[in-house]
Structures are given as C-alpha cells and as structure tokens.
Structure 1
Amino acid sequence: MRRHLFTLIMLAGALSVFAQGHGIQFVHKPWKDIVAQAKAENKLIFIDFYTQWCGPCLNMAQQVFSLPEVGYFYNQNFINAKIDAEEAEGSELAKKYGVRSYPTYAFIAPDTEEMVHRSSSRQTAEQFIATGQGALQPELRSFYLEREYQQGNRKPEFLMNYIRYEHSIYAREQVSTAFDELINGGAKLTQRPVWDLFVGTISGLTPYLKQVSDQYAVFCQLYGQKEVDAKLAKETTYGDLEVIEKFCNFEGKLFNSQMIRIQSALRAKKYDEVIAQIDALIADPAVDQQALIERLKFIARLSYYQREEVPQNWFDKCVEYLQYIAYNQTVRDDASIHQEYAAALEEVIRRQKTKESIPACLTTPPVHGKIVYNLRPDVLKMKPRRNK
C-alpha cells in the first residue's frame, strides 16, 4: 500500500512539476510571519533545522529537497522553512524545540506553535515523503507513536508503524526490540506485510535471517528466489564467516564468503594472501566485476592507510586496483573513485627517489588556493569545536 501511494505521489508530482516548480519552496521570513502564513493557509509548518557544517544537511538539500516529487508533496501540504540552527532567530528556535542533532525535521502546529512530529537523519525521497505523511496523520506522528509504545500498545498495525518511524531515524535498538515484540505477538515472516517490514528495517545475522535460510524453499515460493537471495546476500555482506557458511546456498553467498576472508586477511596484514585472492577474483569471468569493484573501492583506498606504513607491494597493488576501478566502473559519475585514483598517482610521484623531472607542484603543498584535494563542497563549512 505504501509503495502504491508513493508511486501515485511521484506521478502527481511529475504531472504538476511545471506548475509547482522544482523541489521544496522554502519561505524566508521572520518566524512570526511564517506562523501567520501557516495559520492563514491552514497548514502545518515544516522546518529543516540545519547547520552550515552538516554534511547530511547539505546532502538532503541537494539530493532530496530538490526532487520534483518531494517538492510537490511538501509544497502542497506545508509552509516550508529552512532554518540555520546557529544563526540569530534560528538559534532560539532550535533551543525552543530541543534540537540537538542535524538535520532535524520539525513539524509545527501554527495555532499553538507546538511540535507535533519530528524526524531526523539522511533519508531517501520515499522515506522523506513518508515522514511528511506521518506529520499529516495523528496516528503516525512521532510523539503519538512513542507515547503509545511507552504506554504498552503492542497491536500489530501500531508496532509496524512504530518500527517504520524508528527505522527512519536510525534507532536500531528500538527497531530490533519492537520487531521481536511483533513476532512474539503472532506475526510471521510468511505474511507479506511482515516480510516487507523485515526486508526494509531488520539487518544483520538475526534469527529471522536464519529462519529464511532454514526454510529457503518456502520463502522462495512465497516471494521469489531473486527477492529472497537479495535479502540473504545483503545481510551476509559482513559478519561471522562460520555462521554464514552454515546458511543455505543462495546467489551471492560464495562471493560474500570470499570477501570476508579477504577482509580478515587484510586485518591480519597478510598482504600476499590478500593480493592472491583479489587477483583471482578479478581474473575470474564468473565473478560479477561491478560487485567486486564496489567492495574494492573501500579495500584499496590509500587514504585509509595514511596512518600506517604498508609494504611497497601492497601500496603498488592498491594503485593497480584503483586504476582497475577507475577504468571499469560502469557508474561513470562517481567522482570519489577518480579522486582516490588521482591522489594515489600523486603519492606515487611523491615516492620517487629521483625528483628532478617531477614538477614541484606534485611534490610540495600548493602555494595558492586549496592545499587538500578532496570532494568536500566549498559551501560546507567546518564543524566548530565545542569547549568542554
């Protein structure tokens, strides 16, 4: 039902994009004028509390708030305010509404100026629209859900709503506890709504994942092998190899096991063993090279090893792997890997024993402009240090 609703919202947003403009339209007025406008239009106020040094805040502004379907939903239903929590009036509002982390999404009733719903963290477009839907429905509002849960409400439909909300703010412990209560109350993974909730909110090598493995044929019949394999593969990306190897055979199990062995050898600094295993995977035509590249991006990044000395042969292989990734990754707009590769090439030049023919700009810090090569946006300020 939630998926169908999101699809309808996206369609409506696409049809209305020319009339509504792109993305969320934020008003920039004094607080009293925002409240007056919300009263006049009979709408809740949505506040994006952000700071100029908050990376997730900038990501949400650039990647989610700007989307037509998100803008359509929020512009239709709320008066939207974007407030810097460390500037002038914004600081007072942040204190008033108990904002302690960023981004915080606050939904305010203009008649009382009380917060009726709150959320936080980086979210997908679908999650963020669901956050707004929660503000519009009293039974989905954060304060209602948390109060009802504290008072002992354990009805299945309520628990599912509570789990979705807690998952949206990355409250993993609350999600895990509530899902256990849902199952203990009689819900089953063989019920489609419960399965969808499990797939979307429960991670790791849980007893529920073992149940899927133990009853693999049953779950494949209910939901299809591709969907079941995807869940098993995702949750066994990391974890106890001994446990994972006792699971049933599924697409991705062998690859995950191989990568876990590589990570274990890397932690033990068995670089020759790591090199042999990675080279074998790259040379194997049966291995999904794009999946391997996604994992290699983190293994081979030299910035990870800056605080420790690594053998020359491992350094050289990391450069080789970064080259392989930069050349072969199908997602060509992922700038991060190209930066890693460029930084690796600069480090190769710095390590040369004979530097007469190397331009000075590649062996010494820049004289002008930025001295660090990274992807940090210019508009993203450094987080201020707090006095303890």
Structure 2
Amino acid sequence: MKRNLSILIACICAISLSAQSAGINFLHGVTWTEAVTKAKAENKLIFIDFYTQWCGPCMNMAQTVFSLPTVGYYYNNTFVNLKIDAEEGEGVTLAKKYGVRSYPTYAFIDPATEEIVHRSSSRQSAEQFIQTGKDATIPAQRSFYLQEQYANGNRERAFLINYINYNHSVYARDNVQKAFEELLKGGAKLTDPDIWAVYVNNISGMTPYLKQVSDNYADFCQRFGKKAVDAKLAKETTYGDLAAIEALCDYEGKDFNCKMIRINNSVNAKNYDAAATQIDAMIADPNVDQQELISRLKFIARLSYKVDELPDAWFYKCVDYLRYIAYNQKDRDDAYIHQEYASALEMVVRRMNDKQAVPAYIIASPTHGKTVYNMRPDALKAKPKRK
C-alpha cells in the first residue's frame, strides 16, 4: 500500500513538474478579484498579457516565448499570471483601466493598490521577456520610474543605460537614439565596455558610431575581440548604401553583404537576369554560407507581391529558389518555407495554360544541394540496415 502511494505521489510530482516546465501557467476561469486575492496571499505582482484574437505578434509570443521552460520557470515563480483578451468580457474594462492601446501589452500590477507599476509591449525574445519580468520587480528599472526620471532631467550614466534598454525592448527607437547621444555627451566612450554593450544591443544602422568602429577597427578588435566586432559590423551592413559599406574596413561578412545588396539592387531595377546570375553563382559557391544565403534569399524570392507583373523567366527562377530553400534550410520545423514553396507551386499551375507542360526544372532533380525533399533533420542519421 505504501509503495503504491509512493508511486502515485511520484507520478503526481512528475506530472506537476512537466506542466510547470511547459511554459507560463496562466490562470483560467478566475475573476479579477480572485486573481488579486491570490496575488496578495502569495505576495506577488500580477502579470497580465493583454492580447486580441487577431493580433499576430500576440500569437507569436504565445507560441514561441510563453511556452518556453526558461520563461515559464521565471514567471511562474515570480508572478500570478493572467492572459486577458482585451476585447472580451472583463478584459474590456481592465484594458481601459490600464490604458491598453496596442497589442500585445504586458502589464505588471501591484495587487495591494491594483495600480500598474511596469508596462512593456511588442514581440520580444525569450531573453528580453525574462528581463522585462525582472525589471518589473526592481523599482529603479520600472517603466514609469524611468519615464518620470528622464522627464525630470536625470542623466546619470547607469540610469540612461536602464532607460535605453527599456526603450529598445518596446521599439522606441527615437528615445534610444536620443538617450545614447546624451550618454556619450556626458563623457561615456564607445570603447568603454558597458557602453559598447549598450551600442551592440540597442543601436542599429549605418550610424557615425559604426564608422568610428571601422576607422578604429584594430583597437576595437583588441578590446572586444574580432568575432564580436565583425558580427556587429556585418549585422549593421546587411542593408544600406553600397558605396558607404564598401568604404568601411574589411571584416568577416562584408563581401557577402555587398553581394546581397547588389542582388537586391538588380531586382529593384528589374534587371532580373543579372540578379539570377549572381544568385546562381552564390548557390554554386562552396565557400558561401548557404544557410545565411537561404535566410536572405527568402525575401528576394517570395512571390506574394505583384506576382502577375513578373516576367516568366524571373517567376520560374523564384520558384526554383524557393525549392532550394525548402529542400535545404536546416530548420525543418519552419513551416513558413514549406508554405511558400507550396504556394509557389500552386501559382505555377495557375500560370500554365492548356498548351503548356509542367516546367522541366520542377520534375528534374535539383542541381545543387539536396535532391530529396523531406522533413528529416540533417543531424539525424539513417537507421542502420540489419544484416
């Protein structure tokens, strides 16, 4: 009997741990008053994810971030969690009470006063979202404190860093840029480790700071490592003026970015033959990172915009590129690539008339990359055959 009871307890614990590891445990079927009472009893803030049923970023966060064990572990142990549709039932009143005007909105409520103490929003990475939760528990890092202090003239270095990090998390780019400029005017230098970290994580684009890094490339590499410096330079020159990028120092990823920009320029100029020649050369080049090429080629080859205006040759080239992506992208669980390829094949059928045959390239084996289209991950080895 005792043994059976022990087994039962172990099973319950295992199920409980499994449920907790699945992600954020949102309370369901409770009233606002019940949630407040629970939060008071547990001495926790209330976290509310205000969403709507038509909000794409809301669904993305629910599927890719809220469901992660690391996110669930932090939020389940720190907050009483509610997921509230801002357009249904009690959610309408609560959304109005807490000034919700965009979705998703993340509100952190003090149950003792029922006042909002921290607000965030937008699509965030798991790391950003955990930091958002941590900021809610630290009065000096809460959104309302940061906004009030900045408005009152606080320009201390540590404060401005917190202010920049918060505004970056909610995509307030103008606030980020202005505060970063104030940080440097106050005596901070781009070569300071804490300022470099702020720059890498929060400032994007072809800014004067990027040129400063390029002009002093050896110094920055010595301070922060060539890999980190090259990664920042490559990231910020993914798009931009080709001449300005070519004028920068040499770094890992520069040649690739310049080639992709030339391809984009050819497509924008409707010089499709030149674009196809360049893309084909990169696909055939064993020295090109094909996964990076695929990630950029997705946007060049997509056929969802003004497809009827495309000449046949470029249309079929794009279908071929979408096949290459669908066959060869390592993330086999990315449904987007398969949906794009399936849609492209449907467009091929619609584009054909009774006198046309199926294009030969669709039937023939691919020239480059994998020759078989399946969902098998690259890392999964074939099962040995029995002898």
TM-score range, shorter chain: 0.7 to 0.9
Task: Give the alignment of 1:99-114 within 5 angstroms.
Answer: 99-114=100-115
Using the alignment, how far apart are the partners of 2:167 and 2:270 within structure 1?
39
Match of 2:311 in 1: 311
Match of 2:324 in 1: 324
One-letter amino acid matched to 1:22: A
Q: How many Å apart are 1:18 and its aligned residue?
A: 4.9
The 3-state SS of whatever aligns with 1:152 is coil
Match of 1:139 in 2: 140
Using the alignment, how far apart are the partners of 1:160 and 1:233 within structure 2?
24
One-letter amino acid matched to 1:183: L
Using the alignment, how far apart are the partners of 1:262 and 1:85 within structure 2?
44
CA contact (8 A) 1:237 1:256 kept: yes
Q: How many Å apart are 1:21 and its aligned residue?
A: 4.2
Match of 2:57 in 1: 56
Q: Deviations over 1:281-322 (max 9, x none)?
A: 22222222211111111101111333x511111111111111
Match of 1:249 in 2: 250
Match of 1:259 in 2: 260
The 3-state SS of whatever aligns with 1:26 is coil
Q: What is the number of residues matched between the two proteins?
A: 342
Change (3 A) 1:356 1:230: closer
The 3-state SS of whatever aligns with 2:352 is coil
Using the alignment, how far apart are the partners of 2:241 and 2:68 within structure 1?
39
Q: How many Å apart are 1:26 and its aligned residue?
A: 1.3
The 3-state SS of whatever aligns with 1:52 is coil
The 3-state SS of whatever aligns with 1:353 is coil
Match of 1:72 in 2: 73
Match of 2:334 in 1: 334
One-letter amino acid matched to 1:41: E
Using the alignment, how far apart are the partners of 1:283 and 1:356 within structure 2?
29
Q: Are 1:234 and 2:235 matched, yes or no?
A: yes
Using the alignment, how far apart are the partners of 2:102 and 2:71 within structure 1?
23
One-letter amino acid matched to 2:249: C
Match of 2:188 in 1: 187
Report the aligned-residue RMSD: 1.7
Task: Give the alignment of 1:205-224 within 5 angstroms.
Answer: 205-224=206-225
One-letter amino acid matched to 1:152: G
Using the alignment, how far apart are the partners of 2:342 and 2:78 within structure 1?
46
Using the alignment, how far apart are the partners of 2:19 and 2:289 within structure 1?
44
Using the alignment, how far apart are the partners of 1:261 and 1:175 within structure 2?
31
Match of 2:98 in 1: 97
Using the alignment, how far apart are the partners of 1:56 and 1:19 within structure 2?
24
Using the alignment, how far apart are the partners of 1:353 and 1:337 within structure 2?
27
Using the alignment, how far apart are the partners of 1:36 and 1:140 within structure 2?
26
Q: How many Å apart are 1:255 and its aligned residue?
A: 1.1
Task: Give the alignment of 1:167-206 within 5 angstroms.
Answer: 167-206=168-207
The percentage of counterpart residues that share the same residue type is: 67
Q: How many Å apart are 1:324 and its aligned residue?
A: 1.5
TM-score, normalization: structure 2?
A: 0.85
Instruction: Decide which structure has the larger Cα Rg and report it.
Output: 2
Q: How many Å apart are 1:186 and its aligned residue?
A: 1.1
TM-score, normalization: structure 1?
A: 0.85
**Unmatched 5+ residue regions in structure 1?**
1-15, 359-388
Q: Deviations over 1:30-77 (max 9, x none)?
A: 111111111122111111101111111111111111112211111111
CA contact (8 A) 1:17 1:68 kept: no
Using the alignment, how far apart are the partners of 2:220 and 2:357 within structure 1?
64
Q: Deviations over 1:167-191 (max 9, x none)?
A: 0001011001111111111111211
Using the alignment, how far apart are the partners of 1:253 and 1:160 within structure 2?
30
Q: Deviations over 1:242-292 (max 9, x none)?
A: 111110000111111111111111111111111121122222222222111
CA contact (8 A) 1:17 1:72 kept: no
**Unmatched 5+ residue regions in structure 2?**
1-15, 359-387
Match of 2:272 in 1: 271
Match of 2:382 in 1: none
Change (3 A) 1:339 1:129: same
Higher relative contact order (CA 8 A, sep 6+): 1
Using the alignment, how far apart are the partners of 1:270 and 1:55 within structure 2?
34
Using the alignment, how far apart are the partners of 2:177 and 2:259 within structure 1?
28
Q: How many Å apart are 1:356 and its aligned residue?
A: 11
